[in-house]
Structures are given as C-alpha cells and as structure tokens.
Amino acid sequence: MDLNHVAVFARVVELESFTAAAQQLGLPKSSVSRTVSRLEEELGVRLLQRTTRRLHLTDAGQAYFERARAALGSLEEAALAASNLSVEPRGVVRMTAPGDMGLINLPGLIARFVSKYPLVHVEVSLSARRVDLVAEGFDIAVRAGKLQDSSLVARKIGSDTLAIFASPAYLRKRGRPKTLSDLAHHDCVLFRAINGKSEWTLTGPQGEESVTVRGPITCDEMGFIQRAVVAGAGIGLLPRIAVRLAPKGSAQAENVQLLPEYSVTGGDLSVVTPSTRFQPAAVTAFRDFLVAELTRLWNSL
C-alpha cells in the first residue's frame, strides 16, 4: 500500500474538500480524486460518499481515517525525532524550579550545559508555587516533593531527609537543645507556619514524636530558611543535601546538626516534563543532562 495515498486521503478528510486538499498539496484536483479512488480499490471498501455539495465519510471510512491519522502522526514524529539526531540542539528551553535549587548549584549546572550547547538559550523561573507546565509554556521543571499531576513524565533523582540545624552564633547565644522537647523553648525558623507557630513531627529512637515550635520568621522557600538559620535567626529543619553541598568554608557549611537521631523524611527530587511524545532536541538534551548530573551529584553524597 502506498502511504502517499493514505496521506492524500487524510488531507481530503481534514479539509473536507478535494479542491482544498489539491491546493494545499500542490496537485491537480483530478490527481487527488484518482488517488483516493485507488486507495478505495486497494482496500476494497468505499471510504467517501461524494455529493455535489460536500463529502461524507462512510462508517468504514471513519474507522480507517481515525487509525490512519494516528499512524501518520506517529510517522511524522519519528521523522522529526530522527532529524533531531543529526541536528545540533538549538532554541529556547524554559524551565521552572524551586528557589532553593540554587543550593545544589543549579546555576553551575546550567552554565556547563549552555557551554556544551551554545545554540541553546535556557530561561529559568524560580518560584515557590507549583507551576502549571502546559498552561504556562514550560518545557522542564525540577520538583521537590510528591508529584500531584499524573499527566507529567517524571524522572526521579533521589529522596532526601530534613534534619535539625542551627548556626554556631545562635548556639553561642541560646545554648544547645538536649531533647526534642527543648525546641519548644527556642526560636525556630518556620516553613509555611501560621501565626508564628508550627508542629514538627520527626522520627526518632522511639518512633514519631512531635513538638510545637515557635519563631520570629516564617517563609515558603527553603533557601530563605537556610539563610535565616545561617544568620542566627533560629533553629531550622533543613534538607541534609543542601548543607552537605554547601561550599567548604562557607557560612552554610558551618551550620551544626542538632539531635542527629531525629529526622523527617523529605520528598523526592524529580525532573519532570509534559507528557508529549515528541520534544525538540534542545529540550531532550537539557532534560537528559539534568537527570544525569543531578543523579551523579546525589549518588556522590
């Protein structure tokens, strides 16, 4: 069977006109009509009912068109994907990530990528809110925590835990808590708390334990919380990976872990994309680069 015949038939149906299809394909109307007739002969069924005013698909024609259109679409995607293999990635890639991604040197990773692919421009939007990738036109997101949108394709990098940290300056001023309940008498830097109060539930030697903590600062962005802890504003629950990856000699690296027997299971870190079957070469290259580099970084800890 000649796939060109199938493609011509599909174009006629999509445009609902032999004349319009012929104009778009750059063929005589008579050639388009003959092509559809030959396809019907090959299949042994009538696909279209022709009248002086319009075309009507037969039941067989409707069933054939739906499957043919899907198959032709897959072939077009395959051709585009194959062509991308021989073309250097180029164009704009739009990504979104939490603001605290700077803590694991996201700027450094992107700098290395654009150095490798100089024809790619990466636009980064850092936001604490959950961005709708499709509606807002983003190609890639780095997400921390549970993924709520099942329409996204996710590649898990790893999981982290939160632990209790404070700066040396704060500990010199306020002393070191010896038990979990002692945290109730300390200033804490809070994540999405209400009225300066929050309940921390951690897993320790006796299983889950809770303590009500208070503090002068609340924020919805983990990078801010880490910097507030560094500044001595209070004790904070911080991702262990962020402290481990802090540059040696930096104030962040000097944060002291308290009550190390207690921790909170954090969410997964994932690289996610919209669930489209075809993606531009630049998006695919950037996604694969991020997954490889973040996984390597995670596994090195």
Q: What is the pLDDT of residues 208-238, one digit of tens each?
A: 999 999 999 999 888 889 889 999 999 999 9
Where exactly are the structural domains of the chain? 3-85, 91-155+275-299, 160-266
Q: What is the pLDDT of residues 77-112, one digit of tens each?
A: 666 666 555 568 889 999 998 876 655 678 889 999
Give the number of other CB atoms < 10 A from CB of residue 22.
Answer: 21
Under CATH, what is the fold of the domain 3-85? Answer: Arc Repressor Mutant, subunit A (1.10.10)
Locate 234 and state its tokens. 């209070």
Predicted confidence at residue 244, as pLDDT, reads 73
What is the rounded radius of gyration, in angstroms, for the C-alpha atoms of the chain?
29
Q: What percent of the chain has pLDDT above 90? A: 38
Q: What is the pLDDT of residues 40-86, one digit of tens each?
A: 888 888 888 876 667 788 888 888 888 877 777 667 666 666 655 55
- When pLDDT is cut at 50, 70 and 90, the band that residue 178 belongs to is very high
Q: What's the length of the chain?
A: 301
Look at residues 203, 192, 195 and name the one whose alpha carbon lies nearest to residue 162: 203
In the CATH scheme, what is the homologous superfamily, with its name and number, of domain 91-155+275-299? Periplasmic binding protein-like II (3.40.190.10)
Is the pTM higher than 0.85? The answer reads no
Query: Is 267 in a helix, a strand, or coil?
Result: strand
CA distance 107 to 88: 22
What rounded mean pLDDT belongs to the chain? 84
Same fold, 91-155+275-299 and 160-266: yes
**Mean pLDDT value across residues 115-132:** 88
Class of domain 160-266: alpha beta
Look at residues 292, 296, 297, 287 and name the one whose alpha carbon lies nearest to residue 142: 287
Most confident of 24-38, 78-92, 109-123, 260-274: 109-123
CA distance 120 to 282: 7
